[in-house]
Chains A and B, each alone.
Chain A
Amino acid sequence: MSPLLEVKGLKVDFHLENRIVHAVEGVDLQVRRNETVVLAGESGSGKTITTLALTRILPAPARIVAGQVLLEGRDMLALEEKKLYSIRGGVIAYIFQEPASFLNPVLTIGEQIVEAVIWHQRLGRQEAQDQGRELLRQVRIAEADRVFNSFPHQLSGGMNQRAFIAMALACKPSLLIADEPTTSLDVTIEAEILKLLTELKEKVGFSLLFITHNLAIARKISQRIYVMYRGRVVENGLTEDIFKDPKHFHTRELIAAYHKIGKL
């Protein structure tokens, strides 16, 4: 069976005022159905840009200069912008690092979930609102009604991230891209969010592409790891194999950091 997502030779350049920066220089990766894959690497190695390029929601100076992004066999880079609307959120959904700034400060949590539901599923407002509350309960928010009517600044980071997950899952995506979703949270909340994500993955059924520089998380949740360094995938393989026998020095650095934290 062909993989859900297959990226071949993806290259992204940043066209800055007086120079061109090669942010992603030929990335190949695959995500299969119901698989959890970790994309690891230091800050600035091109992890986030790679995942934003998949649905072409890159910042303005970034341009995709080469490669293919095959989603269920269709090349996303050849599609016209309008066709992407149903894929973003509908097939590939994202959760980001800091829910507080990635949620719109002037709209309620409920409105931000409901607008996605209405847009993708063409539901009426009332039905969409019911579904929104149900989604909040699904991510284990006890006071779903209160959270539904709250603005992001009224909630804790962990609560916002749960709400964000509910929003991402609103339209039943096949692939959830989680870009360091726990980096801004404290350790206990981090553990809860990771548990929630793995549970939901079993229950709802989606593939998870998880970005992190923390290999402890990678070891806990993933089947396979891609290690990125300076815009390239420098190593990839089964999680256990990579821990047993890291080839690239950057992988060894990341594993060393993991062991160092373990000893603290």
Chain B
Amino acid sequence: MLNYIIKRFLGMIPVLFGVSIVSFAVISLAPGRFSSLDQAMNPKVSAQYQMRLNRAFNLDKPVHVRYFLWLKDLARLDLGRSFVDNRPVAAKILERVPVTVGINALSLLVVFLVAIPVGIRAATKEGGAFDTATAVFSFVMLSVPAFWLALLLMQLFCIHLGWLPISGLHSLDFDYFPPVRRFLDVAWHLILPVFVSSVAGLAVISRYMRSSILEALQQPYIYTALAKGLPQRTVLYKHALRNALLPIVTLAGLSIPGLLGGSVIFESIFALPGLGQLFFQAVMARDIPLIMAEVVLGALLTVAGNLIADISYACVDPRIRYK
């Protein structure tokens, strides 16, 4: 098992190289440079000023040279400095991580904690009222764009009813609150974003869980469990559920990279200072070090997420042993 993990880690290296080369090339090929953006806004920006900027950020050098310079820094775990404000990229990303990861982790938790029992119940009462209701809910929620749903819910809960705050992460007077009230304030602000970002996952995972249970309940070993005289409950929760959860574990592992993937639209609607917003701003400003850092981070998490999914799969399914 350990050998397998080491081998997989080594296998990650060429993938990450590939990702970084392709994304570096794409960004460099994209029209517009950091140095020319000022001119678009302000025609008075002189050619000398542009050249100075280009030289300062190595933008006057060919792409491959810039790539290797970037790689050299990365090898020393230096992600470089942002073109925009000259702050270290690592610091800019780190300060955004809690918001995005917090919301995504919460919504992932909500998705699995709610979808699994819902799926089980829908499967055990197949074709019943609960099953039909959750099916309709799932199909509607999958078809509705999240930003539209977010706007509708904001109108209902924030404007008409006034129960929830409309945007942001905390109230204006947050700094004067005692700790408990701060926590409650943040929780209050997170209700709507977490709900909206969970909805699609809920729809998918609950349906998936349902069909997984239904499939498990038709397997021959279920007859064995029944023939042993085990009560319905044990047959369902021990024999069927253990097997039905196998594919769900894989899905959970595969959602790990999504933890850092902030949604641009979503964070804009709720005015949340997350990674999605940061990434979007970086792209608009052609801020190459910041863009590259986010892309590499995303790639790293995707590959690591796949590995975690495979390992956790081996932990829950005794038939799978990696060599």
Contact = CB atoms under 8 A, between A and B. Distances in A.
A, B in one complex: yes
Interface of A: 52, 55, 57, 59, 81-82, 84-90, 93-94, 96, 98, 101-108, 112, 115-116, 119-120, 151, 153, 164, 167, 171
B14 interface: no
B316 A98 contact: no
B242 A120 contact: no
A163 to B, nearest CB: 12
B225 to A, nearest CB: 7
B229 A89 contact: yes
With most chain A CB atoms within 10 A of its CB, the pick from B226, B228, B242 is B228
A106 B225 CA distance: 13
Interface of B: 218-221, 223-232, 234, 238-239, 242-243, 246, 316-319
Given A98-B220, A101-B220, A107-B242, A86 B228 contact: no
Given A151-B318, A153-B319, A102 B223 contact: yes
B224 A94 contact: yes
A92 to B, nearest CB: 8
A57 B242 contact: no
Most buried by B among A55, A59, A81, A104: A104
Contact of A119 (B220, B224, B228): B228
A88 B221 contact: no
Given A104-B242, A106-B242, A106-B317, A88 B227 contact: yes
A98 B221 CA distance: 10
Given A96-B223, A96-B224, A102-B224, A116 B318 contact: no
A245 B287 CA distance: 94
A119 B224 CA distance: 14
A115 B228 contact: yes
B224 A88 contact: no
A57 B227 contact: yes
B319 A105 contact: yes
Contacts of B246: 106
B120 to A, nearest CB: 17
Contacts of B234: 115, 119
A104 to B, nearest CB: 4
A98 B316 CA distance: 23
Can you list the 10 inter-chain pairs with the closest CB atoms, starting with the nearest? Answer: A88-B229, A89-B229, A94-B227, A104-B221, A89-B228, A57-B226, A116-B228, A101-B220, A151-B318, A102-B220
Contacts of A98: 220
B221 A89 contact: no
Contact of A87 (B229, B243, B317, B319): B229
Contacts of B318: 105-106, 108, 151, 153
Contacts of A120: 229
Given A85-B229, A105-B319, A153-B318, 15 more contacts: A57-B227, A94-B227, A98-B220, A102-B221, A104-B221, A104-B224, A104-B225, A106-B242, A106-B319, A108-B318, A115-B234, A116-B229, A119-B228, A119-B230, A153-B319
Contacts of B238: 107, 115
